[in-house]
Structure 1
């Protein structure tokens, strides 16, 4: 959900020629699959297009290729930092929730095993945080 929303916001801000949004999991159990049908239905109902999204696993090359990697929760943050190794600047692997204006530093909960209302909660967090992230990107020299 965060990938779809953030990519939409990046495009709306006119930054999509300089900013590429990719997403992945740290595990390989969903590779190639579309997102959860409940997440896709909610995104569609809110005017987003989730149809192109497919699950993938984080690639080792991303630590060199990407300016920042955002983890959705503290467990994923620790996993990414371990995968990245000691050479990577710590600020390049960050918690997505650090940018949440309502709950700074919060983990984004995984709604997969809960009820449908959890997807709405996550979408609200993702939308408000994506706005802050895009504003921060707009302030950078992305030449």
Structure 2
């Protein structure tokens, strides 16, 4: 069983939503599933209320003790797969990560053929409907990743 890290900017909406969805759908594929932000506040904070409401509407939840956190680049090697929400996140992580970790840092959408290479849009500055749209994209990525695991196409070093 592998370890998965989901990464966005501040770790208050997209990556925590992905964490909740992946835990619900891929807990049998990944032993550990967590999220972090490239620029998260080091003090940690709660998930955005609109993200929490969207998760509840879609029947997902996060642990009540959940707090945002910044990506720990020194511990990047403990993750078998790091899935980022934007190409900018992938670039930032690869710039700072040891070269041997670069191959495990990918875009979340790389597992969805029709979305490959596309950013998961940041709903933070938009209407509540944007959070629901992001959940739909994350669910598609989770389903594709689950299929890849089932078909043996998901390999970890």
TM-score (norm 1): 0.85
Please report how far the alpha carbon of residue 31 of structure 1 lies from its aligned counterpart in structure 2 after TM superposition. 4.2
Is contact 1:33–1:55 with CA below 8 Å preserved after alignment?
A: yes
Q: What value does the CA root-mean-square deviation take over the aligned residues?
A: 2.0
Q: Give 2:93's match in structure 1, choosing from 52, 73, 80.
A: 80
Structure 2: which 5+ residue stretches go unaligned?
1-16
Q: Give 2:127's match in structure 1, choosing from 115, 120, 123.
A: 115
Gap change, CA 1:141 and 1:111, over 3 Å in 2 = closer
Is contact 1:6–1:130 with CA below 8 Å preserved after alignment?
A: yes
Is 1:92 matched up with 2:92? no
User: In 2, distance between residues paired with 1:141 and 1:33?
Assistant: 33
User: In 1, distance between residues paired with 2:116 and 2:59?
Assistant: 26
2:25 corresponding residue in structure 1: 9
Is contact 2:84–2:105 with CA below 8 Å preserved after alignment?
A: yes
Gap change, CA 1:51 and 1:89, over 3 Å in 2 = closer
Please report how far the alpha carbon of residue 100 of structure 1 lies from its aligned counterpart in structure 2 after TM superposition. 2.1
SS of aligned partner of 1:69? strand
More strand by share: 2
Please report how far the alpha carbon of residue 64 of structure 1 lies from its aligned counterpart in structure 2 after TM superposition. 1.3
Please report how far the alpha carbon of residue 80 of structure 1 lies from its aligned counterpart in structure 2 after TM superposition. 0.6
